[in-house]
Structure 1
């Protein structure tokens, strides 16, 4: 007899009307999802990129040509194809084309240094690399140290309409950013390669349980590991997200895709979910270009805007924001990092009520597991409720469930949980458990569930600050720091303290034109925090170090603060 879950899923009673309580993912593969969209919405614009428009019919044809190209180059089912591109049409084509050829996609950050790129190419044993021409010099530095047999190079100009495709290289040369990559030998030009192919690759028998993607963890907790995500994992999470946003209209939505596709959150919520519902995807290659983001929202009439807190915060505080109309946005799910209450409040205000809600997920869960109701009851500071099909437990150090209101490590189970880490069985064993008839992922995040089934992340296990025997969760301190009228961004980290063991160190970025002193910030914190939680020191910076998707690197800040104290 299968052991029962040690709680009665209190979150189900707080689901919005229309959100199913039971969930079983479909048995489709990702290429089948694209084929369905092309069949149902052949003439709808699938991709919009700097004036260029690609219909779903054209997107499928291009993906089929890319699959044919890979096969012509000798790529076989199961081989890994690394994709190192920003948000552009070529990314979508390469991703779905790789899967149509039966190969496995390996998302590769365009921000990688040569050493980071070398590690990922070696670890994944990728023999094919698809990349932007501007990144090619980084590959050249490590080409002799990896097993790559073929490189497919594309440029932004390959996706632009006339005359932008002619003007872009001229501008890039003037700006000093142009990289001229000559095809030949193992290097192939994307546009010419696809132009030689018919959209008829050799059929490959794909199953939903087949490996589709190696998605590397951000490395904020050590050496990046490749999470093995299947077609079923990725489709399940797209379908769960679709079920959560029950008012989505197929063939009518417009998604502003500023969050990078090479990050699993962008891939699932901005790309795969959009294809699932036949939405138009407005591609933004550089999310740091806030004026471009604002202009694209206004011009496209975007209805969905998935993002990260740093992006919403940047929009809230950009001087150009008042000039743009952002009222078309209906729903925004914020992921990848904690969403501060002040950020959400301000964003709703400037957009005329866009529903910006916090969600939660991990690379290992494809990634979304929890979201606040889009239109229903939202708990400030909460990551919300488990998605349909997700179970969640809060566990103590003895791996036993704790009562509502008590803090423990968050465990999650569901159809979107990875197979494990690529070629790392020991790491997999540390992270996954069999219990209560399910496979659980141990998130490493400290959480608490209330009586209604809403969960709140108090912080990473490894980022907990212990001062004088008291546990201090950085997010609690950061929420207070963000309430200071002069503060744009903030992070709280622990630094060694000979008396307390550790003390809180705040790293702060001020809003443009604003001023504050260390004494000001500390005094502000004293009004809302217990004495042991108040920062003992404050450091001011022009910016905070972040991952490619915008997550603040607390461990790096802590390390740098410690080094500064020993100099």
Structure 2
């Protein structure tokens, strides 16, 4: 049965249900350009671009894709670049001609790209020049045939005052190969699309899952699911045309895509775009541009708050700081509150739900909490084996039904059959995440179903152990994994990044003893290893699987 306890804590003056527009996402840009033609849409290292400029350039790129490269409705187009004006323009250009955006992590190399291009049967790509060399070998080995190549430097101002990352400062390269088209040349051609703009039921974007539990899978989203979270997020965060949004999250990832690009464009707000993260530049630009809204992953925020030059006046303009992907340690949350007077507003979602299905009420957030179900989302907790619904306080798999849930995985019939189940006549998506709901209707993560550690028959959820470890003042970051053990099956090991003040002043053994005092005997980490950093995905999630694989290899070698 649908739980509605969270409505008691719903933000005031925010409706409990939303009507999603029956339009293509491109229509949001058209409307904002009509309303605010000369208003800044993008600020990029000192250069500004109005909504009218962004719309006109998106139309020209769209026209070239349609008329010169013959991209048609439903074709998958690779978007492979870092945060930049060209990324935003490209995304909307692809949408304008009813093709499907396939956003690819710019950190992926040739062999990783090969998988995506072959899996999605991609013929056309829009790429940035600094990562072109990863693409080049695939033009003769995969379905990929033609490229539009962008240079970030083209969008810098004539006189540069802001510190420019080297990758942005690089001058435009020339490409003479067949079917290679420079971005600037494409704009100068001035083609305009002739096709009719599609509607909400057309496919819009196909982000890939991270692949932490197997091969990546393309998640098919209609414009309607993208619009659901775009509009819902904008109302929840109270975005207005006068808001200034800090676009630091990677736009290829669903959180950055929705919260740092689509939502500001829908609202007619300004985006301050960073190609590369720089905490000192972030400190200065927040104050200079009076940034009001910042959706940021916890790892980035931890780094930002560690800046010794950071002062209260630098962040006085901020009205909302939100994020997801990984919980913010309680001590860091308190540091943020003392500095800004703001609580970190966490949310929860997946590629399959084009960002959030849950978010915390901004005026009543709970730390290290997924939040409450988003607009028109029905979330339940079920027993993953029996599929029986569970009550408040009982741990089980989170399943969701809502307007942002994807159509299904691209060409994955078997995975699609496993991904959904029916409850009360409604189709629910199985997230694979283990969580619990409290009596107020807030959801908390326990762990990934496949990450559970089995230590002598006891179930140990790594996230629970991590949350305990974060209570120790020495711990800046923690990642817990199961390691092979001949007697217990698995043992608990924690990888720790220490806060600067504790480096050289605490040992692994001391932290193990502390853990033993604060956790159940089967739960505390028997092994702790200090690291200078922990591996993360580009969206800030800890790569626990990579650490687990390292331990498995050690075990095999020492047999």
Q: Does 2:193 align with 1:197?
A: no
1:360-405 residue CA offsets vs partner (Å, 9 max, x unmatched): 00100011011111013x3333211001110100001211101111
| Partner residue, 1:125 | 121
- Give 1:151-300 correspondences, 5 Å limit: 151-164=147-160, 180-198=173-191, 200-245=192-237, 247-248=238-239, 250-287=240-277, 289-300=278-289
Secondary structure of the structure 2 residue equivalent to 1:338: coil
Secondary structure of the structure 1 residue equivalent to 2:314: coil
Secondary structure of the structure 1 residue equivalent to 2:140: helix
| Partner residue, 1:479 | 467
- Equivalent pair of 1:22/1:388 in contact (CA under 8 Å): yes
- Give 1:322-401 correspondences, 5 Å limit: 322=311, 325-350=314-339, 352-376=340-364, 378-396=365-383, 397-401=385-389
- Note the residue ranges of structure 2 that are not aligned, 5 or more in a row: none
1:180-231 residue CA offsets vs partner (Å, 9 max, x unmatched): 3414411110011111114x31132402011000100111111110000110
| Partner residue, 1:565 | 555
1:307-364 residue CA offsets vs partner (Å, 9 max, x unmatched): 11111111122334349701211112211222322232222223x2123111100100
- Equivalent pair of 1:488/1:509 in contact (CA under 8 Å): yes
- Note the residue ranges of structure 1 that are not aligned, 5 or more in a row: 1-5
Secondary structure of the structure 1 residue equivalent to 2:41: strand
**Runs of 4+ more than 4 Å apart:** none
Tell which deviates more after alignment, 453-462 or 144-153: 144-153
Query: Cα–Cα, structure 1 residues 104 and 12, in superposed 2: closer, same or farther, change >3 Å?
Result: same
Measured in 1, the distance between the counterparts of 2:256 and 2:314 equals 24
Tell which deviates more after alignment, 487-496 or 8-17: 8-17
- Equivalent pair of 1:22/1:389 in contact (CA under 8 Å): yes
| Partner residue, 2:63 | 68
| Partner residue, 1:28 | 23
| Partner residue, 2:41 | 46
Q: Does 2:486 align with 1:466?
A: no
Q: Aligned match of 2:489 in 476, 494, 501?
A: 501
- Equivalent pair of 2:3/2:441 in contact (CA under 8 Å): no
| Partner residue, 2:101 | 105
- Equivalent pair of 2:24/2:197 in contact (CA under 8 Å): no
Q: Does 2:409 align with 1:421?
A: yes
| Partner residue, 2:134 | 138
Measured in 2, the distance between the counterparts of 1:452 and 1:242 equals 24
Measured in 1, the distance between the counterparts of 2:197 and 2:122 equals 21
Tell which deviates more after alignment, 44-53 or 339-348: 339-348
Secondary structure of the structure 2 residue equivalent to 1:95: helix
How far did residue 521 of structure 1 move?
Answer: 1.5
How far did residue 563 of structure 1 move?
Answer: 1.6
Tell which deviates more after alignment, 275-284 or 336-345: 336-345
1:10-49 residue CA offsets vs partner (Å, 9 max, x unmatched): 2222211122122331212101111111111112100110
Tell which deviates more after alignment, 250-259 or 524-533: 524-533
Tell which deviates more after alignment, 326-335 or 216-225: 326-335
| Partner residue, 2:91 | 95
- Equivalent pair of 2:497/2:534 in contact (CA under 8 Å): yes
| Partner residue, 2:295 | 306
How far did residue 466 of structure 1 move?
Answer: 1.7
Secondary structure of the structure 1 residue equivalent to 2:536: coil
User: TM-score under structure 2 normalisation?
Assistant: 0.95
- Equivalent pair of 1:407/1:446 in contact (CA under 8 Å): yes
- Equivalent pair of 1:133/1:181 in contact (CA under 8 Å): no
| Partner residue, 1:81 | 77
Measured in 1, the distance between the counterparts of 2:434 and 2:216 equals 21
Measured in 2, the distance between the counterparts of 1:112 and 1:101 equals 27
- Give 1:526-545 correspondences, 5 Å limit: 526-545=516-535
How far did residue 481 of structure 1 move?
Answer: 1.9
1:426-455 residue CA offsets vs partner (Å, 9 max, x unmatched): 111111123323221100000111121111
How far did residue 528 of structure 1 move?
Answer: 2.2
